[in-house]
């Protein structure tokens, strides 16, 4: 059985998810940012297990979300 992470930026149709989940191990992550995509591409050939890959993608996304006001305040305080 294959393991696959599907990253989507919007609504995901139930039919697609149902079909995919029957033929492979699928995890769907929604709310895409560039960090998630870059992490996925950089680590796609790593020898990490499926759950670790999903955790890494989500961790990367959370770590790299910044509000514009926060970013500007940090720059001004330096």
How far is C-alpha 33 from the chain's CA centre? 8
**Per-residue pLDDT tens digits for 43-73:** 888 888 888 988 999 999 899 888 888 888 8
Identify the pLDDT of residue 67: 82
The predicted-structure confidence for 11-31, as pLDDT tens digits, reads as follows 555 566 666 667 777 676 767
pLDDT at 32: 77
**Secondary structure of residue 9 in the 3-state scheme:** coil
* Residue 54: closest CA among 28, 34, 23: 28
The domains found in the chain, sorted by start residue, are 2-77 (3.40.50.510)
Bridge partner list, 2:
24
Measured distance CA(76)–CA(78) in Å, rounded: 6
What pLDDT, on a 0 to 100 scale, did the predictor assign at position 2? 44
**What was the pLDDT predicted at 15?**
64
Question: H-helix or E-strand containing 8?
Answer: strand 2-8
State the pTM of this model: 0.60
């Amino acid at each position: 059985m294959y393991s696959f992470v599907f990253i989507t930026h919007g609504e995901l149709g139930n039919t697609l998810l149902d079909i995919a989940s029957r033929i492979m191990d699928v995890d769907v992550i929604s709310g895409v940012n560039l960090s998630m995509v870059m992490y996925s591409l950089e680590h796609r050939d790593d020898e990490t297990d499926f759950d670790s890959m999903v955790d890494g993608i989500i961790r990367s996304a959370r770590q790299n979300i910044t509000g514009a006001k926060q970013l500007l305040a940090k720059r001004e305080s330096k």
